[in-house]
Amino acid sequence: MDYRDRHVVITGGTGALGSAVVGALVAAGATCHVPYIAAAEAERFSFRTHASVKLVSVPDLAEEAAVARLYDGVPGLWASIHLAGGFAMAPVATTAKAALMQQVDMNFVTAFLCCRGAVNAIARTGAGGRIVNVAARPALEWRSGAGMVAYTASKAAVAAMTVALSEEVAKDGILVNAVAPSIMDTRANREAMPKADHAAWPKVEEVAATILFLASPDNKVTRGAIVPVYGKS
């Protein structure tokens, strides 16, 4: 896939999946704009010194003005990939409203505001573009969200938004899709679940490959899809 001369925003780009996505994008010729919150996050990012990576300090992706500034600073935006989010495992009986709203802000509000920023920035180019969100397996398989209902509901909102938005902006040449990963094979997940079958988990590079296609000019027709990326799990 050829991303030469294309600018791409990747939220959550300094994380495990984000690093895989950014690495694949720069290899394909893209210029990557990667927002970060904490300085330490940027310091440990393996692509922080890459000539095609622009790190951008953004205090809060759930804050309208901060997100607007991010997208106003990207010239000729082609694609926006929204990996930023958070996870919480807790039963409803012990989930306070503050915890619920934290999941909504981290997963749904950030994706919504970044989609809005991307739609406006891509529209300014007049050349169309791509948006890729990240849902989750429980967003498609609701019963599997028992014990993490707040997280499941916030990711289901991301999935619904993706499909609705894809209809809204298709006429503008903007194709909107999402991936829905199961538990991915990361160091943090291995440490949290040492007895799990790690070999069955999808690798971040494999999930990144699906994201790269959906965000690429090679994707000419796929929109409104929530693509399961489960591996063998």
CATH number, position 70: 3.40.50.720
pLDDT at 185: 86
Is 140 among the domain residues? yes
Kindly state whether residue 1 falls inside one of the protein's structural domains: no
- Identify the pLDDT of residue 194: 93
Three-class SS of the chain? CCCCCCEEEEECCCCHHHHHHHHHHHHCCCEEEEEECCHHHHHCCCCCCCCCEEEEECCCCCCHHHHHHHHHCCCCEEEEEECCCCCCCECHHHCCHHHHHHHHHHHHHHHHHHHHHHHHHHHHHCCCEEEEEECCHHHHCHHHHCCEHHHHHHHHHHHHHHHHHHHHHHHHCEEEEEEEECCCECHHHHHHCCCCCHHHCCEHHHHHHHHHHHCCCCCCCCCCCEEEECCCC
Higher pLDDT, 25 or 190: 25
In a domain, 64, yes or no: yes
Q: Which domain holds residue 49?
A: 7-229
What's the pLDDT score for residue 8? 98
CB atoms within 10 A of CB 222: 14
Residue 11 lies in a domain: yes
pLDDT of 173 higher than 90: yes
Total number of domains constituting the chain: 1
Q: Say if 135 falls within a structural domain.
A: yes
pLDDT tens for 92-105 read 999 999 999 999 99
Residue 2: inside a domain = no
For position 111, what pLDDT does the model report?
98
How far is residue 15 CA from its own chain's centroid?
Answer: 11
Q: Can you name the residues that pair with 90 across neighbouring β-strands?
A: 148
Task: Say if residues 179 and 227 touch (Cβ distance below 8 Å).
Answer: yes
- Residue 162 pLDDT class (50, 70, 90 cuts): very high
Q: What is the pLDDT of residue 68?
A: 98
Least confident residue range of 5-9, 94-98, 189-193: 189-193
Q: What is the pLDDT of residue 233?
A: 84
